[in-house]
Structure 1
Amino acid sequence: MSVELIIDSSPKEVVIAILRDNKLLELHKEKNNNSFSVGDIYLAKVRKIMPGLNATFVNVGYERDAFLHYLDLGPKFNSFTKYTRGVAGGSLNSSSIDFEFEPEIEKTGKIEKVLKTNDQILVQIAKEPISTKGPRLSAEISLAGRYLVLVPFANKVSVSQKLKDVDERERLIRLIKSIKPKGFGVIVRTVAKNKKVADLHADMNDLVSRWELCYNELKNAHAPKKVLGELDRTSALLRDLLNKDFNTIHVNDNTVANELRSFLKTIAPDKESIVKDYNGKMPILDNFGVEKQIKSLFGKNVTLKSGVYLIIEHTEALHVIDVNSGQRGKKKDSTQEQNALEVNLEAAEEVARQLRLRDMGGIVVVDFIDMKEAENRQLLFDKMKEFMEGDRAKHNILPPSKFGLVQITRQRVRPEMDIKTAEKCPCCGGNGEVHSTILLVDDIESNLKYITQQQKIKKIRINTHPYVEAYINKSQGFFKGSLRKQWEKKLSCLIDVVPTTAYSLLEYRFMDEKGEEILF
């Protein structure tokens, strides 16, 4: 099994695709100006106490106030508050936690007894802004590394429950207790299994240095202010996912590629060479077949190779997936029950993939084909859990009901990945009428003339449909050459025509040598 990371970096956003055996497994899009990512730490100001909700609305600088519930304050909230006031006020002159902890807050307490309006508190983004809601916050600050998670104001050392080996758990706890700084707790991640103390110590030092950065930004700060940013989405994915199965990372931006090599050098030096620069003419997502998979996987109907298809409907908090056998051929000797089981098992694997791919959260109801035998329903349930094991989001799966419904709850920390596959026609704007196709090449030439003569741009890339690209690059005769060659000679410029499968037949765009669209 091979895992590839494809990174499409542009001035506006970074698109990250994870392929397993050339099959799209996850897709992430991150705006370059995104200031409210999960894990970011802010000095925030309390805006309004809501006793009825036992919560408060907090100003972190977003257009809508963020939400903080009493249960998300954490037992050490008073110690965090004391530290925050001391550092921001200038009375604490060290990032180390060497003072006595404050008493823990009550588990069933009231928020109005702990906070008041205009208080400045240290918070961490737990959920990004979704739809009309602001960010969801937590005051239990933690810093995640490759092998460890550092928890200020806690002395406990714990190990991931996924690590079952008792001897290894005891070894890790013993090692971490010997190297952890005073005033910090540590959670040991599953990937720390069998790692040397030098690797764990290096990760610990990196996390402590990040806490020092937080301290430096907090000094004399005024809310709202971002005091520590989480790693960008690419680096966070590498930190959380990188394993022996990862064999290649393709990047179309040299700067991003060098940053990744530098990051990999710190967390996994043996993997530094897997970063590959992509300099092909085709857009990187087209070259690796990602764009085609996106178009086929993000619509309302998702068809599998066997003919089985899913219908996916969305509401604000509920997603419904209907399983249909479609054109799948029934085997000669199989019964209706056996056929239903085979369809359901195939669909279950795709459902698990779709949940990760679209990052669907909240409640998901899957309507599988009815099966009469209890053992088949149990098999479907076991397989569904198996397919969902690789999902990093917290989730819970209920056994199939007597109606064949499987209910799934899945943690949602970011907006759902929503890609419209049915596009508004870029040629007619939706009115059903287009300019004459015979004039398309004339329009392109006219726009090229304006760009070269008025905007003085002499290196131009034209992204267009493959059919149009083939026509422009095709030789018009021995003496004439291709249209592209004729335009270059006439306009004294360099032109590169690139086929883009994501474009409609009459769609085209002009790009400069930096890859930015030329507007005119």
Structure 2
Amino acid sequence: MSSDLIIDVTPSEIVIALQENKKLVELTRERSGAKFAVGDIYLGKVKKIMPSLNASFIDVGYEKDAFLHYLDMGPQFATLNKFVRIASSRKNKVSSLSRIHSEPDIDKEGKVNNLLKVGQKILVQVAKEPISTKGPRLTSEISIAGRYLVLMPFSDKISVSQKIKTTEEKNRLKKLVQSIKPKKYGVIIRTVAEGKKVAELDQELRRLVDKWETTFNKLRRAQPPSLIIGEMDRTTALLRDIYHSNFNSIIVNDQSVANEISDYIGSIQPDKKKIVKFYKGRQPIFEHYGIEKQIKASFGKTVSFKDGAYLIVEHTEAFHVIDVNSGNRAKVGLDQETNALDVNLAACNEIARQLRLRDMGGIIVIDFIDMHQASNRQKVYEHMKEIMAGDRTKHNILPLSKFCLMQITRQRVRPEENIETAENCPTCKGSGKIVPTILFADELDGKVKYVLKDLNKKKLNLKVHPYIAAYLTKGFKSIRNQWFLKYIRWVNVESNSTYSYLEYHFFDENMEEIIL
């Protein structure tokens, strides 16, 4: 399987598209200056204790208080609390975790009001980003993720990813990490650490420990609420989690971001730095590589997937519902049961892709086409498990019921990616009425005159639908040439296939839109 990453960098956000075998499977966006991302560590203040929920609300600087449940405080919370008191003290001279005496683990059946008080300082990590009307979900079981290892301060345990199958390799990695791990730190060994040498793991472990120990100085000066350790930007974080040797290319339309990614790839696999490429084309990067078209086809309520079959995707407050329909698909010679199985198996592939692409979380209920044979329902269940094995997000799949309903729970840590594919007509503004088409050229001509004469723009870029672009530029006596003779200034006409038929936009020499 070949993978490609296409990254569109704009002043307001970075949009990251992951393709597998040239098919879009993930789309994530990071707004510039975004806060409260998963992994961010904050010094917060306890605002409210809720004994009935055995939870508390913490002020971390978000508009709504963040939620911390007792079970998310972690067994070593007492030691963490002691660490915050010591590190926040101006007299503190401790610079290593090994010098702090560990406190006993907290009681699993304990109560939050026995550990926290209103106004108390507390070190927390974002476990789930703000979603809808809810604030961030927090944990006090701090972890710092690297590519091969996850560092767990205050813990002494070493855990190995269950996806590493061989017992010999698990034992080798455990012994190796045990020999290089500092005291008072736990480590989770990730799947990609399989087969790695001690030098690579030791280098990353030292970097993670150094990153954590910057908190000693930061906490001394910090007042809640404040960010103590920020997760790396999402582009690099995504690479850290998904990068593998089968990546064909990473294409970016911003030179500085391309350099950052190239440096990161070089640090983990120097011979693959050449796969990072800077896109210099004039056409938008997503349009050039066909991402825009795939986005339009993959989002929305109805999604086609094979020979006329399609999905209906509905979202409610409680859960998501996906309905599988065969449409006009019917193979000659196949009975109803076999045809239903064929469509359902194909639907599994598209559903798994849609869950990753939209980052759908919570409860997902899928209504497959009815199948009467239990063996066929089992085939669909096994196929869905196999396809979903490649999904990095934690999930659980239940077998189909006799009504051919499948339930999936999928961890939700970020807001769902929701793109509205239906467009308002830019000509009628959604009213259903448009100006006479015969006057369109006159309207365009009037606005070109206004921009070039009244606004006195030296250069003008006009983006329109490909049909209109051809109409404006075709022939020696084209409308564009007439503009040049009339205003003695060249109008650069560009076609954009994502525009509707009579949609147009003007841009100046810096490619900033001219709002008329």
TM-score range, shorter chain: over 0.9
How far off is 1:272 after superposition?
1.3
- In the TM superposition, residue 474 of structure 1 has moved relative to its aligned partner by 2.7
Q: Give the match for residue 271 of structure 2.
A: 270
- 1:445 to partner: Cα distance: 4.7
Q: Distance in 1 between matches of 2:206 and 2:444?
A: 57
Displacement of 1:198 in angstroms is 1.7
Alpha-carbon distance in structure 2 between the residues aligned to 1:263 and 1:439: 55
* Match among 497, 500, 503 for residue 507 of structure 1: 503
Moved more, 25-34 or 459-468: 459-468
Amino acid at match of 1:130: I
Rounded Cα–Cα distance in structure 1 between residues aligned with 2:444 and 2:179: 68
Per-residue Cα deviation, 1:456-501 (whole angstroms, up to 9, x for no partner): 65454433222222333333x1xx4x54455467656665433222
The 8 Å contact of residues 27 and 358 in structure 1, kept in 2 or not, is answered as yes
Deviations 1:360-390 (A, max 9, x none): 1111111111112121111111001001011
Pair 488,372 (structure 1): closer, same or farther in 2 beyond 3 Å? same
**Residue 319 in structure 1 maps to residue 320 in structure 2:** yes
* Equivalent pair of 1:87/1:219 in contact (CA under 8 Å): yes
CA–CA distance in structure 1, aligned partners of residues 80 and 441 of structure 2: 65
Letter of the 1:173 counterpart: K
In the alignment, what sits opposite 2:293?
A: 292
Q: 1:488 to 1:101 in 2, by over 3 A?
A: farther
- Written as runs of structure 1 = structure 2, the 5 A alignment for 1:32-111 is 32-97=32-97, 98-111=99-112
Code of the aligned partner of 2:262: R
The normalised TM-score by structure 1 is 0.94
Asked if 1:209 corresponds to 2:205, the answer is no
Distance 1:394 1:449 in 2: 58
Partner residue in 1 for 2:12: 12
Tell me how far apart the structure 2 counterparts of residues 445 and 64 of structure 1 sit (CA, whole Å): 50
- Cα deviation, 1:101-154, whole Å, max 9, x if unaligned, reads 112111111001100111111111111111111111111110100101011111
Corresponding residue number in structure 2 for 1:345? 345
Matched, 1:280 2:281: yes
Equivalent residues of 2:39, 2:127 under 8 A apart: yes
Mark the CA change 1:44 to 1:491 in structure 2 (over 3 Å): closer, same or farther: farther
Query: Does the 8 Å CA contact 2:326/2:343 hold for their aligned counterparts?
Result: yes
Q: Distance in 1 between matches of 2:431 and 2:241?
A: 47
Verify the 8 A CA contact 2:330 2:339 in the aligned structure 1.
no
Deviations 1:263-285 (A, max 9, x none): 22223322211111112222111
Q: Quick one: which amino acid aligns to residue 111 of structure 1?
A: V
Question: Within 2, Cα distance between the matches of 1:419 and 1:9?
Answer: 18
Q: 2:371 corresponds to which letter in structure 1?
A: M
After superposition, where does 1:194-205 map in structure 2 within 5 Å? 194-205=195-206
Q: Tell me how far 1:88 sits from its aligned partner.
A: 2.2
Q: Distance in 2 between matches of 1:362 and 1:139?
A: 23
- Shift of the alpha carbon at 1:217? 2.8
The amino acid of 1:257's aligned partner reads: A
* Corresponding position of 2:329: 328
For residues 436 and 255 of structure 1, do their structure 2 counterparts lie closer, same or farther at Cα, with a shift above 3 Å needed?
farther
Change in Cα spacing, 1:440 to 1:249, as seen in structure 2 (3 Å) is: farther
- Whether the aligned pair in 2 keeps the contact of 1:95 and 1:211 (CA below 8 Å) is no
The AA in structure 2 aligned to 1:79 is: T
Q: Which letter maps to 1:402? A: K
User: Could you say which residue in structure 2 is the equivalent of 1:156?
Assistant: 157
Match of 2:493 among 489, 492, 497: 497
For residues 139 and 395 of structure 2, the distance between their equivalents in structure 1, rounded to whole angstroms, comes to 20
8 Å CA contact 1:10–1:515 kept in 2: the answer is no
After superposition, the CA RMSD in angstroms is: 2.0
What SS does the aligned partner of 1:280 have? coil
1:501 maps to a residue whose letter is S
Any conservation in 1 of the 2:252–2:278 contact (CA below 8 Å)?
A: yes
Distance 1:124 1:441, change over 3 A: farther
Equivalent residue for 1:302? 303
Q: Does the CA contact (< 8 Å) of 1:77 and 1:105 recur in 2?
A: yes
Cα shift readout 1:38-78 (whole Å, capped 9, x = no counterpart): 11111111111111111111111111111110110001111
* Contact residue 306 and residue 346 of structure 2 kept, 8 A: no
Q: Is the 8 A contact 2:67 2:137 kept in 1?
A: yes
Q: Give the whole-Å Cα distance in 1 for the aligned partners of 2:483 and 2:107.
A: 75
- The answer on whether the counterparts of 1:281 and 1:498 sit within 8 Å (CA) in structure 2 is no
Contact persistence 1:323–1:369 (CA under 8 A)? yes
**Residues 261 and 337 of structure 1, relative CA distance in 2, 3 Å threshold:** same
The one-letter code matched in structure 1 to 2:51 is P
Tell me what 1:474 maps to: 474
Distance of aligned partners of 1:513 and 1:385 in 2 relative to their CA distance in 1, 3 Å threshold: farther
For residue 363 of structure 1, give the secondary structure of its aligned residue in structure 2.
Answer: strand
Which ranges in structure 2 are unaligned for 5 or more consecutive residues? none
Shift of 1:96: 1.7
CA distance in 1, matches of 2:488, 2:103: 74
The separation in 2 between residues aligned to 1:154 and 1:441, in whole angstroms, is 71
Aligned partner letter, 1:63: E
User: Which segment is superposed worse, 182-191 or 452-461?
Assistant: 452-461
Counterpart residue number, 2:386: 386
SS at match of 2:173: helix
One-letter amino acid of the structure 2 residue matched with residue 21 of structure 1: N
Q: Which residue of 2 aligns with 1:259?
A: 260
CA distance in 2, matches of 1:236, 1:455: 45
Deviation at 1:163, TM superposition (A): 0.5
- Deviation at 1:295? 1.1
The equivalent residue for 2:410 is 410
Question: Which stretch of structure 1 is more off in the superposition, 315-324 or 498-507?
Answer: 498-507
Answer whether contact 1:75 1:106 (CA < 8 A) is retained: yes
Residue matched to 1:115 = 116
CA separation in 1, counterparts of 2:457 and 2:41? 43
Structure 1 unaligned spans of 5+:
none
Distance in 1 of aligned mates of 2:61 and 2:488: 50
Conservation of the 8 A alpha-carbon contact between 2:249 and 2:277: yes
Deviation at 1:421, TM superposition (A): 1.2
1:331-385 deviation digits (Å, cap 9, x = unpaired): 31x2221111111101111111111111111111111111121211111110010
Contact 1:300 1:312 in 2 (8 A): yes
**In 1: Cα distance, 2:511 partner to 2:213 partner:** 38
State how far apart, in whole Å, the 2-side matches of 1:311 and 1:404 are. Answer: 16
For residues 192 and 132 of structure 1, do their structure 2 counterparts lie closer, same or farther at Cα, with a shift above 3 Å needed? same
